[in-house]
């Protein structure tokens, strides 16, 4: 299983340390090439050896591309029964559903349980995925949850307070819970503890029947994307995923708050 952020494209290097690897020459020869202004990074001639680059920087020597990595960001509508991983011996994994030239470089940016469905993001940009996954960034994940027993306001108060899990000696961050019907709720988390949603409802001895993630940050699952399908994110969506804001739906190049889109009411 690939660890988030482990892809080489995400690693940062000093230019004078990367070029000897790419060119298989000494650092002294690299400094000579820089002094001769024969190296460009992202279209600009560079002479500073301490310049920081990563796997997505386009580096050339005399116009010949030495490295031309490109960041890839995908949205997958994960079906139930597919593992949030890139490889597994026992289960079908998310990467099995991806058809993209950069497929082999991708990792999961925020897992979903095997029996959960919904929005799953894949990328080869480790810094971006860490921003989405770290609780310190406050990026919200929103889920539609169906439970067996009837919900009431006691759940709302308990989720808002946070719950202590003695086995890990941790207290969860306050979570949002909005009751949509007797058996369904919208849950908003800012962290992703192991089976957190199931365990929080488990405090009430209320079995979880379905979990479906509808949003990460300001990015919402594309309503036109069928289960098992994926697509490339737009530049705007890449930015929205990092934001801890009310999710928006992008229509005709404009951003609209979900609460202003009547036909989205049934999804919330």
Q: Is 267:239 a contact under the CB 8 Å cutoff? A: no
31 and 129 inside one domain: no
Q: Which of residues 53, 68, 83 is at a domain's end?
A: 68
- What is the mean pLDDT of the segment spanning 38-60? 89
* pLDDT at residue number 52: 92
Given 16, 88, 113, 265, the catalytic residue: 113
- What is the mean pLDDT of the segment spanning 69-91? 91
26 and 159 inside one domain: no
- What is the mean pLDDT of the segment spanning 184-199? 92
DSSP alpha helices (H): ranges in 170-233?
A: 196-202
42 and 169 inside one domain: no
What is the residue range of 96's domain? 73-267
Question: What CA–CA distance (Å, rounded) separates 54 from 86?
Answer: 23
Q: Which of residues 68, 83, 100 is at a domain's end?
A: 68
251 and 138 inside one domain: yes
165 and 245 inside one domain: yes
184 against 87, higher pLDDT: 184
Which residues fall within 8 angstroms of residue 13, CB to CB, at 6 or more apart?
52, 53, 54
Is 113 known to be catalytic? yes
Q: Is the pLDDT of residue 7 over 50?
A: no
164 and 213 inside one domain: yes
Q: Based on the structure, what is the number of domains in the chain? A: 2
26 and 115 inside one domain: no
Which residues fall within 8 angstroms of residue 225, CB to CB, at 6 or more apart?
75, 77, 231
CATH code of the domain covering residue 14:
3.10.290.10
CATH code of the domain covering residue 133:
3.30.2350.10
Domain assignment present for 86:
yes
Domain assignment present for 1:
no
127 and 159 inside one domain: yes
50 and 95 inside one domain: no
96 and 172 inside one domain: yes
Domain assignment present for 247:
yes
Q: Is 123:74 a contact under the CB 8 Å cutoff? A: yes
The pTM for the full model equals: 0.73
Biggest distance spanned by C-alpha atoms of the chain? 73
Q: Is the pLDDT of residue 1 over 60?
A: no
Beta bridge partners of 179: 185
Domain assignment present for 98:
yes
Domain assignment present for 2:
no
Domain assignment present for 3:
no
DSSP alpha helices (H): ranges in 109-192?
A: 126-133, 153-161
Neighbours of 259 (CB within 10 A): 12
pLDDT in tens, 226-247: 999 999 999 999 999 987 644 4
46 and 177 inside one domain: no
Q: Is the pLDDT of residue 10 over 60?
A: no
* pLDDT at residue number 105: 81
* pLDDT at residue number 262: 28
57 and 134 inside one domain: no
Q: Which of residues 68, 85, 116 is at a domain's end?
A: 68
């Amino acid at each position: 299983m690939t660890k988030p952020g482990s892809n080489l494209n995400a690693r940062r290097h000093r230019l004078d340390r990367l070029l000897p690897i790419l060119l298989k020459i000494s650092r002294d020869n690299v400094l000579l090439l820089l002094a001769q202004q024969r190296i460009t990074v992202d279209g600009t001639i560079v002479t500073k050896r301490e310049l920081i680059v990563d796997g997505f920087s386009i580096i050339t020597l005399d116009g010949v591309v030495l490295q031309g990595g490109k960041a890839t960001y995908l949205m997958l509508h994960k079906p139930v029964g597919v593992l949030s991983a890139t490889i597994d011996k026992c289960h079908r994994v998310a990467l099995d559903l991806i058809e993209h030239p950069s497929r082999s470089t991708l990792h999961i940016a925020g897992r979903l349980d095997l029996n959960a469905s919904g929005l799953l993001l894949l990328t080869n940009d480790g810094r971006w995925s860490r921003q989405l996954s770290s609780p310190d960034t406050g990026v919200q994940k929103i889920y539609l949850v169906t439970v067996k027993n009837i919900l009431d306001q006691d759940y709302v108060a308990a989720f808002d307070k946070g719950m202590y899990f003695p086995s890990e000696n941790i207290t969860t961050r306050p979570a949002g819970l909005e009751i949509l019907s007797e058996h369904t709720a919208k849950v908003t988390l800012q962290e992703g503890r192991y089976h957190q949603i199931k365990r929080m409802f488990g405090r009430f001895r209320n079995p979880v029947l379905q979990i479906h993630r509808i949003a990460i940050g300001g990015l919402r699952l594309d309503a036109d994307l069928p289960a098992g399908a994926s697509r490339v994110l737009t530049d705007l969506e890449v930015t929205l995923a990092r934001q801890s804001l009310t999710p928006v739906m992008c229509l005709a190049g404009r951003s609209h708050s979900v609460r202003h889109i009547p036909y989205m009411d049934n999804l919330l």
